[in-house]
Amino acid sequence: MVKYIDIADDIREKIIEQTYTYGQKLPYEYVLCVTYHCNKETMKKALDILVKEGLIVRRRGAGTFVKDYDPSNDDVLKKGDRYGVGLTGKYQGFYRIRSEVVEFSVIPSDLEISKKLQIEEGSFVYHVIRARYLEEIPYVLEIIYMPISVIANLRLENVSNSIYAYIEDELGLKIQSSHKTITGELSTPLEQQYLELSEKEPFFQVEKVSYLSSGVIFEYSLNRYHYNQFEENTVTVHY
Amino acid sequence: MVKYIDIADDIREKIIEQTYTYGQKLPYEYVLCVTYHCNKETMKKALDILVKEGLIVRRRGAGTFVKDYDPSNDDVLKKGDRYGVGLTGKYQGFYRIRSEVVEFSVIPSDLEISKKLQIEEGSFVYHVIRARYLEEIPYVLEIIYMPISVIANLRLENVSNSIYAYIEDELGLKIQSSHKTITGELSTPLEQQYLELSEKEPFFQVEKVSYLSSGVIFEYSLNRYHYNQFEENTVTVHY
DNA sequence: GAGTGGTCTAGACCACATC
DNA sequence: ATGTGGTCTAGACCACTCT
């Protein structure tokens, strides 16, 4: 549908399957434009996606080069984790995952939650607590709030499997962006129980607010990770 | 110099000083284009910067809106922290910071460091260990490696103050991107000493590889934070 | 239907790297 | 000097939202 995304997908594929290998110079812009029948600006948009994913580096005056690419560390590349909600980095795709739904209810939002979700205080929201295990080792405790007005008819079945799949595939909604804050926090009995932490041990918390393409906030969540199970990769491109 | 950055800076300023306030609709694209004497694509580039910074949300068919903006949490906005190397989020700008240089030497790179910096094994690199304190409370322990071939004549004075200022202002080099990995690690005596951690307490590590605009890697660093002093903010825009 | 953003193009011109 | 990427423009056309 969108040309520059298709082009990026194609070139990413070539890097993964090592048609383009580490350190190699990519054909320069003009050649790529001819190959993909597109304009220079469109090509730049495509390549900028790969720059943000950390797969290539572009050097004005020199060329475009494939970056050091470690296939065991390819979380950006897994379609299943496009929103950074699944397993990240080193643990992805290799282990058996089990989810345990600790809580699934509808509650009126309190001040904090209504502020984060930008809804009226007291509006009803789904309240989900879910523990995830990796080969039976506790991995993450997820606390999720979603307005019932935005995500309709969420069922236990969806919560047990993938909430994101339900939102995208069944409701046909598109997810636009997520705003995350990662902090360290001291564990309380809740995390000690589900993450098998000792007293005084900290956990990683990822606080997240997620937007649909319509601009509506559909989720406020707190993902709490055992500190030795957590990994997050980011690329920052300065301007 | 670059028009879309200037425009983004100007609009960001207006959001910070609350000329545009929370929830408000910005003038639409055409009006902004006329105001700033620019083309639609240029305007989009400018606004996309603010989208990535989490300051605005754009909704096709509806308009562009100022997001919930908490002035106490404006780390994206501080010029001094453009590269995510200074203090982040809640602690920035309010406290007195002191740096203690624990180590400043030149060593031959070992296999791991040479791989990260993409230089030949054995090439000489600066080796810096720096402890930073916030109102005398240990905050972060920084372990930095930089090739002497890229960063020439680094002095203790630069290390005590800002290495980035030296690179940008004195050497006139431009920083292009940084690739970061956040993990939790168990502390060793080094971190226990400088971060005042107990045995068995973990620390939060940000491993970073940084590129110049020339595409050359100039830095491999490990920033080790006390877990209750750690905060990292990211905005992910899906496509 | 009117309002508003998103994508794409052709082509001009600029900035930086390498030789 | 030549190769290569980056920015900017004018204008066409498409996609989504609101009412």
CATH code for the domain defined by B3-66: 1.10.10.10
Q: Evaluate whether B20 touches B35 at the Cβ level (below 8 Å).
A: no
* Structural Rg of chain A based on CA atoms: 20
Interfacial B residues in 82-141 facing A (CB < 8 Å): 82-84, 89, 115, 118
pLDDT of residue A70: 54
Q: Can you give the pLDDT at residue B77?
A: 38
Lowest mean pLDDT among B4-8, B122-126, B149-153: B149-153
Confidence at residue B215, expressed as pLDDT on a 0 to 100 scale: 81
Nearest to B178 among A177, A179, A236 (CB): A236
Cβ-nearest to B82 among A182, A231, A238: A238
The mean of the pLDDT values for chain A is 87
Domain made up of A82-226: CATH architecture: 3-Layer(aba) Sandwich (3.40)
Residues of chain A within CATH 1.10.10.10 domain(s) are 3-66
pLDDT at residue B222 above 70?
Answer: yes
Query: Would you say residue A178 has pLDDT above 60?
Result: yes
Which residues of chain A (112-171) touch nucleic strand D at CB < 7 A? none
**Per-residue b or e along A142-159, where b marks 16 or more CB atoms closer than 10 Å to that residue's CB:** bbbbbbeebbeebeeebb
Chain A CB within 8 Å of residue B179 CB:
yes
- Listed as own residue / partner, the contacts of A7-13 with beta carbons closer than 8 Å and 24 or more positions apart are A7/A36, A7/A38, A7/A42, A7/A43, A7/A46, A8/A46, A8/A47, A8/A49, A8/A50, A10/A36, A11/A46, A11/A47, A11/A50, A12/A50, A12/A53, A12/A55, A12/A77
Q: What is the pLDDT of residues B36-95, one digit of tens each?
A: 999 999 999 999 999 998 899 998 899 999 986 554 444 443 333 444 444 444 444 556
> Does the structure show a pLDDT above 80 at B10?
yes
Tell if A30 CB is < 7 Å from nucleic strand D: yes
A88: three-class secondary structure by DSSP: coil
Sign of the C-alpha dihedral, residues A18, A234, B118, B210? positive
Does the beta-carbon distance from A233 to B181 stay under 8 Å?
yes
* Residue extent(s) of CATH 3.40.1410.10 domains in chain A: 82-226
Reported confidence tier of residue A11, pLDDT bands at 50, 70, 90: very high
B177/A233 Cβ within 8 A: no
List the single residue in B57, B84, B239 with the smallest CB-CB distance to A49. Answer: B239
Compute the average pLDDT of residues B201-209: 95
pLDDT of residue B203 exceeding 50, the answer is: yes
Work out the minimum CA distance from A109 to partner chain B, whole angstroms: 18
